Amino acid sequence: MLRLCSVKFCVVALVTLLALIGCSGDEEQVVVKPEPVYFESGDECHVCGMVIERFPGPKGQAIQPDDKVVRKFCSTRDMFSWLLQPENVKRNHVLYVHDMAQTHWEAPDDTALVDAREAFFVVGSGLSGAMGPTLGAFADQADARAFADEHGGQVVAFEEITLEHLRMEP
């Protein structure tokens, strides 16, 4: 009888332990990466308030995955100006920019939006965006180099961009 109770105790203890492990909350949460959204007529830049659609060059957007709030920017320069602020730099925004190898500088097509964190940027080219000099954005490093060869500037990876890059003139 004592041995049967010990076995029952062990079984109950094991089931309880497995239940506690299953409820520990250590499971990874799967966060679905939000898709980019189209720029629409009347959209205003989150930084400067200018209407976005009127201007040339790559635009940017930042989407907060948990609440799906979309912040749109009239230029990559404004997007980085906002992103590199201390209160934003550590947030996990999903960022999109126009891949300028896939669209025209004067009127970027929203079907060419790519993940900004994986993009390469040309700083200091001779082309302007909404607020003057901006950063050309490219999904492929070779395309960024070809653009820099033609229009001037320096190719920089996303994680290398600093506020100093935003002050560069052509």
Q: Is residue 21's pLDDT more than 90?
A: no
The string of pLDDT tens digits covering residues 122-153 is 999 989 998 788 999 999 999 999 999 999 99
The beta-carbon contacts of 156-163 under 8 Å, at least 24 apart in sequence, are 156/120, 156/121, 156/122, 156/123, 157/120, 157/121, 158/116, 158/117, 158/118, 158/119, 158/120, 158/121, 159/117, 161/80, 161/84, 161/121, 161/123, 161/135, 162/84, 163/80, 163/81, 163/84
For the segment 65-90, what is each residue's pLDDT rounded down to a tens digit?
887 899 999 999 999 999 999 998 88
- Domain layout of the chain by residue ranges: 52-166
Q: What confidence score (pLDDT) does residue 17 get?
A: 45
Instruction: Express each pLDDT in 47-61 by its tens digit.
Output: 999 999 889 999 999
pLDDT at position 3: 53
Q: What is the pLDDT of residue 27?
A: 52
Q: Is a pLDDT exceeding 50 seen at residue 165?
A: yes
Looking at 6-10, 77-81, 101-105, which range is the least confident one? 6-10
Higher pLDDT, 131 or 31: 131
pTM passes above 0.85: no
